[in-house]
Amino acid sequence: MRKYDEYVKQMGRVADVYHAVGLMHWDTEIYMPSGGGIFRSRQIGTMTGIAHEMATSTEMGKLLDDVLASDDLSEDERRNAELSKQDYDKQVKLNKEFVEKMASAKSRAFANWTKARSEDNFAIFSDSLEELIKLKRQETEIRGFENEPYDTLLDLYEPGLRTAFLDSTFESAKEQIVPLIQNLTSREQPRKDFLSRKYDKDKQWSFGLEILKSMGYDMSTGRQDISAHPFTISLSPSDVRVTTRIDEHDFLNMTWSCIHEGGHALYEQGLAADQYGLPLGSAASLSIHESQSRLWENHIGRSKVFWEKWFPVLQEKFPDNLIDVTLDEFYKGINTITPNLIRTEADELHYHLHVIVRYEIERACMNGDVEVDALPDLWNTKYKEYLNVDVPSNADGILQDVHWSHGSFGYFPTYSLGSFYAAQFFETAKNSIAGIENQVRDGNYSQLLNWLRTNIHAPGRKYDPEDLCKQVTGEPLNVSYYMDYAKRKFEGVYGS
Ligand code: ZN
């Protein structure tokens, strides 16, 4: 047997265990009886431990070295083995004692965060947050870094991403977004009263499913359920599930989550099945994943041509709600720019300011520039400065996101980068697909999906994110594609 084939077999076994854990997570959110939590987290812990042991065993390390020493590897096979070796080295750097210490700190932090948020009391969370920040800084020391510790955390989510790049990208975005928002919010606001009328739950569900299917989401290898927070989970390229939530008085909630999660799911359904368990069969990075959801959500779902097809369908489903609304009013209503406190409810422009606040705070924490007790004030000051909103409570302020209680520092920036990548990818797609606007107007997305499949989905991790971007668009990530799109679009929404 070739060493490479043995490697494929072993990687597949590790993936099997991780996907079984994924199925338990999915079941926890969808079907598990409310009393099942304690044993379920124990089962998830055991299975994750088994997968981790398999992935980091000395046998696996030896096998990877043997594969890399083989002289019969194709280019793709070598790339797989090299990436697996990098992943292996990253995983074995942290010893078991440290991993366990981190895991128990996280579970304490999550419990305290939940309580702190519901009681609107930051003090309940602050000690465990401080502990997590300390452990994360230790982790960066163990892993090593060149310029600053935060770089190491960014790299875990986004290979190659550094603060130097984010500083210039976010500075440029902020300099353009803040005045653009000031300009737009000072104008007359489009009406959006019709969005909070009562939209029947079942009818919303079937409308969302119809859109999802039209995007090319394959129901024979997927399904949709309801959950508190929408998510996508892949159990294999032929079992990729999405969830949504429905609010009868907020029609957009379901719509955006269906299209957004649909974009994530199409990426997973488009990964190469013959690379199951291998780097080339996995997503390139979190930003690239987010670029797929944002491309569908912002550039298709929030566009006028998209609603030329779907608004009449919607009107037919909800005649009473939309009888006094024109397509133009609908389009403008779903694209209003309004200052808000909560990141997950933000419009396309404010969203990035929410992310930039978190980026600056995380970085200050990792550099030891700020004490944990001073964080709520720092948060509120930045919200006033960048978003011009007063934060009325910590529950709706610094305690709003779950990420820090999970120990996820360095994750937030990938959300904004996803939008920036989406704009650049979509610009390239428009230039390579003749008549794409007319296709979207007709509800036909197959050429767009094929383009995404070929250029972005099928390669998996074959290229690092920056190289993928160069490969697809001819240049590295450039925020001006996003800014040009946003200025053009919102000038149209707020213009005459
Ligand atoms: Zn997403």
What distance in angstroms lies between residue 231's CA and the mean position of ligand 1's atoms? 8
What distance in angstroms lies between residue 15's CA and the mean position of ligand 1's atoms? 22
Tokens of 372: 């944990």
The 10s digit of each residue's pLDDT in 14-43 is 999 999 999 999 999 899 998 988 888 889
What distance in angstroms lies between residue 403's CA and the mean position of ligand 1's atoms? 14
Q: pTM of the entire structure?
A: 0.96
Question: Using an 8 Å Cβ cutoff, are 140 and 153 in contact?
Answer: yes
What distance in angstroms lies between residue 169's CA and the mean position of ligand 1's atoms? 20
2, 148, 152, 349, 410 from 163: Cα distances, Å: 42, 8, 10, 22, 10
pLDDT at 212: 98
**CA–CA separation, 304 and 441 (whole Å):** 9
- pLDDT band, very low/low/confident/very high, at 108 (cuts 50, 70, 90): confident
**CA–CA separation, 44 and 63 (whole Å):** 27
The 10s digit of each residue's pLDDT in 222-268 is 999 999 889 999 999 999 999 999 999 999 999 999 999 999 999 99
What distance in angstroms lies between residue 257's CA and the mean position of ligand 1's atoms? 9
Instruction: Return the number of other C-beta atoms located less than 10 Å from residue 107's C-beta.
Output: 15
Region of 160 please: left (phi>0), alpha (psi -120 to 50) or beta. left
Active site residue 210: no
Tokens of 20: 């079984």
Residue position matching structure tokens 């697809």: 472
10 Å CB burial of residue 235 (0-12, 13-18, 19+) is: middle
Q: Provide CB contacts within 8 A for 383, sequence distance 6+.
A: 341, 357, 389, 390, 391, 397
10 Å CB burial of residue 297 (0-12, 13-18, 19+) is: buried
Amino acid at 215: M
- For the chain, what percent of residues have pLDDT higher than 70? 100
> What residue ranges in 307-440 does DSSP mark as E strands?
none
What distance in angstroms lies between residue 161's CA and the mean position of ligand 1's atoms? 19
What distance in angstroms lies between residue 284's CA and the mean position of ligand 1's atoms? 14
Q: Which of 261, 290, 297, 362 is catalytic?
A: 261
**CA–CA separation, 351 and 386 (whole Å):** 11
DSSP code of 370? S
